[in-house]
Amino acid sequence: MIVVNTEYIPGKKIVAIKGLVQGNTVRAKHVGRDIMASFKNIVGGELKGYTELLVESRREALSRMLSQAQELGANAVVNVRFATSSITAGAAELYVYGTAVTVVDAAPAQG
């Protein structure tokens, strides 16, 4: 499955648009991560626990979106975008969406 955040894929031609596909996950903060984050706020630096949480969330949401695209018979997803939103205190949604398409190799330019 080809996944891009552009409207087209170089060297490919879109022959069918299958529709909007999306994936999401809602994650809550972890008490242990919060404690470590509060210590990190004092001394500064990367909040690795939260970085790991976001990486896991992106992977899960992306996997769900790609499953939808596969169910539609797509072989690529274009215009992929990520968004986040706060759901409640301590919980947030990570949402990914794009357009599922079928692509084929573009004919080489003649001339």
Domain ranges of the chain: 2-105
More confident residue, 73 or 84: 73
**73: region left, alpha or beta (phi > 0 left; psi from -120 to 50 alpha):** left
What are the C-alpha distances in Å from 58 to residues 14, 38, 95? 26, 24, 8
The structure's pTM equals 0.81
Options 3.50.50.60, 3.30.110.70, 1.20.59.10, 3.80.10.10; CATH for 2-105 is: 3.30.110.70
- Checking if the pLDDT of 34 tops 60, the result is no
More confident residue, 1 or 92: 1
What's the mean pLDDT when you consider all of the chain? 86
Phi, psi (degrees; rounded to nearest 5) at 75: -120, 5
Nearest to 62 by CA among 100, 98, 96, 92: 96
- Give the rounded distance of the alpha carbon of 19 from its chain centre: 16
